[in-house]
Amino acid sequence: LKSIGNVNLAAIDELKEAEERAEYLATQEKDLSDSKAELEDLIQKIKKDSREMFVETIEKVKVNFAQLFRKLFGGGRADILLEEGVDILEAGIEIMARPPGKELTSIRLLSGGEKALTALALIMGIFMLKPSPFCVLDEVDAPLDEQNVHRFLALIQDFAKETQFLLITHNKVSMAATDVIYGITMEEKGVSKKVSMKLVEEEVPALV
């Protein structure tokens, strides 16, 4: 009796508290398990929907890309290939292009100007899926020769029917094709001045 010690008169209350605490923790564990199961189901659904949307989107982009590539290069063939044997959401993407008179090859083996036109065809092919009212292109014509600049501008003018483009460029041919030019000049040394110029002729009302 001495080793047992004094009787704990609060034991019943302590047991009740411990049982309530155990019940609370069991409820929390169940909630966490249910939430985990719901999240896992949601992740699987998202992955399934993402795969379907990705396949659908990539097929549309491939069509647009091939069409714009032929337009920019005046022929040839281009394609988008996905890495095989892996999850499509983790697959690598290979851009294949064949300008007129050349063999089908990876974009890495093209010249600087050919790479720029191919990249432009791909970007605008993606842009066609969800066009925006405004688009900024920064020095995309820099690696292009004059002939390819004209092809680039023809493409932009087609898109300009629905989208307003802001071209950041130093190319005189591109500047001449714009409706409005905004720039910076330095009439006095060390003093910058903003200038603008409209290149579109205004319609003159007919005399009645």
Over its length of 208 residues, how does the chain's per-residue pLDDT go in tens digits? Answer: 778 777 777 788 888 999 999 999 999 999 999 999 999 999 999 989 999 999 899 999 999 999 999 999 888 888 998 888 888 888 888 888 888 887 767 777 788 888 889 999 999 999 999 888 989 999 988 888 888 899 999 999 999 888 999 999 988 998 888 888 888 888 888 888 888 888 766 665 555 4
Residue 172, judged by CB atoms within 10 A of its CB (0-12, 13-18, 19+), counts as exposed
pLDDT of residue 147: 86
- Whole-number Å distance between alpha carbons of 66 and 97: 9
- Whole-number Å distance between alpha carbons of 93 and 75: 23
* DSSP strand pairing (77-82 vs 93-98): antiparallel
pLDDT of residue 94: 87
The model's pTM is: 0.71
pLDDT of residue 22: 93
- Whole-number Å distance between alpha carbons of 28 and 43: 22
Residue 23, judged by CB atoms within 10 A of its CB (0-12, 13-18, 19+), counts as exposed
- Whole-number Å distance between alpha carbons of 50 and 65: 21
Element (H, E) at 164: strand 164-168
Element (H, E) at 174: helix 172-176
Rounded to 5°, angle at Cα 146 from 141 and 147: 105
Cβ–Cβ < 8 Å for 65, 78: yes
